[in-house]
Amino acid sequence: MTARALARLAALTLPRPRGLRRLLPGRFPLALVLPALLLVGAELSVRAGWLPANLMPPPSEVARTLAWLAENGLGVHLVASTLRVALGFVCGAGAAVLLGALVALDRRVQALLDPTLQALRAIPSLAWVPLLLLWFGIDELPKLVLIAIGAFFPVYTGVVSGFGGVDRKLVEVARLYRLAPLALVRRVLLPAALPAILTGLRTGLSLAWMFMVAAELIAATRGLGYLLSDGRETSRADIVLAAIVLLALLGKLSDMGMVALERRLLAWRDDFAASRAGVER
């Protein structure tokens, strides 16, 4: 085979960069393209005077504010918010898993609880805020309860639909082997329902962050929601944007954790998502 023919063959078989990829250097992650474009666009727009700097500080100034905050108690705010989300999420999701499993597995419990829980689900969760403040004051408890309420319903729905959607034929195999009720849950129902449960947990976690902000905006002396409120009251848009950036980063980090957990626990799945992720077949 001649060198020319070899080159032609290589051109046919090697993957060629297409579209956007051709314009990007080396291994630049596609996920960063849009944020990078937005940052550069905002910086240029403010510097050119197209956007008012007092309302839309340039990213470079937001970065400076973040650095200043890091040296002036940012850690306290981060820890406070993260702890609230973690505690509220664990309580809300834990209760949702327990109640969801009971509702899904026992028709009498379902008849007793599900209609009421569905009615409660229809209430916009922020409507609970005045009542929670009346009941628990402005301390930590109302914040945790609000976050737990936010996390509860997506997880509850995921658990109920997950258990309800388990393939009847797999349950029949378990019945053939005379599995005791607890073994049936542990060995068949729970693993089969896991995809829906994890989706519920993921949605619940993102809602927990959302409700943490709502709770801290109302009454807090520390936390990212407090920073947002403080920035608004002192007309410091740079602090507001810095807090928003931190919320985005923390939300994304926790979501990445959930995705990693999902990948690990659901490696057995044979679906479109797994095939796109390049799971070995």
Q: Which residues bind another protein (CB under 8 A)?
A: 169-170, 172-173, 175-178, 187-188, 191-192, 194, 268-270, 280-281
The tokens describing 117, both together, are 């829980």
Smallest distance from another protein to CB 180, Å = 10
C-beta closer to another protein: residue 145 or 184: 184
Smallest distance from another protein to CB 167, Å = 8
Smallest distance from another protein to CB 109, Å = 23
C-beta closer to another protein: residue 97 or 188: 188
Smallest distance from another protein to CB 170, Å = 6
Burial track 132-144 (b if 16+ CB lie within 10 A, e otherwise): beeeeeeebebbb
C-beta closer to another protein: residue 71 or 270: 270
Q: What gap in Å lies between CA 54 and CA 237, rounded to an integer?
A: 7
C-beta closer to another protein: residue 63 or 174: 174
Please answer whether residues 57 and 241 qualify as being in contact, where contact means their C-beta atoms are separated by less than 8 angstroms: yes
Strand (E) or helix (H) holding 192:
helix 190-218
Cα dihedral 148/153/159/165 (nearest 10): -170
Please answer whether residues 79 and 255 qualify as being in contact, where contact means their C-beta atoms are separated by less than 8 angstroms: no
Q: What gap in Å lies between CA 196 and CA 159, rounded to an integer?
A: 7
C-beta closer to another protein: residue 64 or 269: 269
Please answer whether residues 151 and 96 qualify as being in contact, where contact means their C-beta atoms are separated by less than 8 angstroms: yes
Smallest distance from another protein to CB 166, Å = 11
Please answer whether residues 85 and 209 qualify as being in contact, where contact means their C-beta atoms are separated by less than 8 angstroms: yes
Cα torsion angle, 130, 134, 136, 140, sign:
positive
Q: What gap in Å lies between CA 158 and CA 203, rounded to an integer?
A: 9
C-beta closer to another protein: residue 66 or 279: 279
Smallest distance from another protein to CB 281, Å = 6
